[in-house]
């Protein structure tokens, strides 16, 4: 007695339809989930959002950009909230840090650029995409400095991971920032800072000294805005 795949392919959707006709409509099901369940699901939803960022970014025509110099593990798990009117929150996970933003739409067409660069570096490219601006500087030895910024508005986030970087709180023109300084010269250090007044979050990634990175960051100025 045979049972072909074709027969099963034909019968299975019918079985599914009959199966679900015996169940209530999803919209008619109401269950008040417990706080314990809701809390566990919030963790899962947040984790899932992070894991699917590249797919979401593609769909939103936003930008997914990575500068990979190393990977690693942050062992601390904590939430470090800060700042004026709660525009951003930094969360520490086992393997990465995420900065999430919750402010109103900012000056997305504002253009920022550093006015100081170490000797020999020239702007190689600049890309302005919805929600993300990226500037790349390069010297003759092909060493790169990457500056990016995003508006600190609802739905925007920065995530970072590092194995060996040392973290240092810094001030960039009065704005709080964090420098993730790599001791390995082959790895990029990253500086993240948030300009609450401008509503912009900046990152600077380069294999440079602490002083040079901070100098570049402090030289970043608004170069153009149509608002």
Kindly identify the residues of this chain, within the stretch 61-120, that bind other proteins according to CB under 8 A.
62-71, 96, 100
Residue 152 near other proteins by CB under 8 A:
no
* Distance in Å, CB of 197 to other proteins, minimum: 20
Assigned token pair, 43: 């963790």
Length of the chain, in residues: 227
User: Is residue 44 involved in binding other proteins (CB under 8 A)?
Assistant: yes
Residue count, binding to other proteins (CB under 8 A): 84
Residue from 41, 73, 84, 222 binding other proteins (CB under 8 A): 41
Residue with smaller CB distance to other proteins, 9 or 119: 9
Among 106, 113, 170, 190, binds other proteins (CB under 8 A): 190
Q: Which of residues 207-226 bind other proteins (CB under 8 A)?
A: none
> Of 149, 132, 160, which is closest to residue 201 (Cα–Cα)?
149
* CA pair distance 201, 196, nearest whole angstrom: 8
Do 192 and 201 contact (CB within 8 A), yes or no?
yes
The answer to the question of residue 182 lying near other proteins (CB under 8 A) is yes
Distance CA 85, CA 103 (A): 8
Place of tokens 């894991």: 51
Which residue in 87, 162, 175, 178 binds other proteins (CB under 8 A)? 162
Contact 213, 220 (CB under 8 A): no
Q: Is 3 in the site for other proteins (CB under 8 A)?
A: yes
Nearest-5° angle of CA 73, CA 76, CA 78?
A: 130
Decide if residue 36 touches other proteins (CB under 8 A).
yes
Note whether 159 binds other proteins by CB under 8 A. yes
């Amino acid at each position: 007695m045979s049972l072909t795949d074709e027969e099963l392919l034909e019968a299975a959707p019918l079985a599914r339809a009959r199966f679900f006709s015996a169940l209530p409509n999803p919209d008619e099901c109401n269950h008040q989930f417990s706080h314990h369940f809701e809390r566990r699901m919030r963790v899962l939803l947040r984790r899932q959002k992070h894991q699917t960022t590249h797919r979401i970014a593609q769909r939103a025509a936003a930008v997914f950009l990575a500068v990979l110099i190393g990977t690693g593990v942050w062992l601390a798990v904590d939430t470090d909230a800060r700042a004026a009117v709660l525009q951003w929150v930094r969360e520490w996970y086992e393997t990465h840090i995420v900065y999430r933003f919750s402010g109103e739409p900012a000056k997305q067409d504002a253009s920022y650029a550093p006015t100081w660069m170490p000797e020999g570096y020239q702007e190689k490219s600049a890309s302005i995409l919805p929600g993300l601006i990226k500037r790349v500087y390069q010297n003759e030895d092909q060493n790169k400095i990457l500056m990016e910024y995003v508006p600190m508005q609802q739905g925007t986030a920065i995530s970072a991971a590092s194995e060996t970087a040392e973290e240092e709180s810094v001030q960039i023109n009065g704005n709080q920032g964090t420098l993730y300084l790599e001791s390995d010269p082959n790895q990029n250090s990253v500086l993240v800072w948030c300009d609450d007044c401008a509503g912009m979050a900046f990152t600077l990634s380069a294999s440079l000294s602490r002083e040079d990175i901070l100098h570049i960051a402090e030289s970043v100025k608004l170069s153009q805005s149509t608002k």
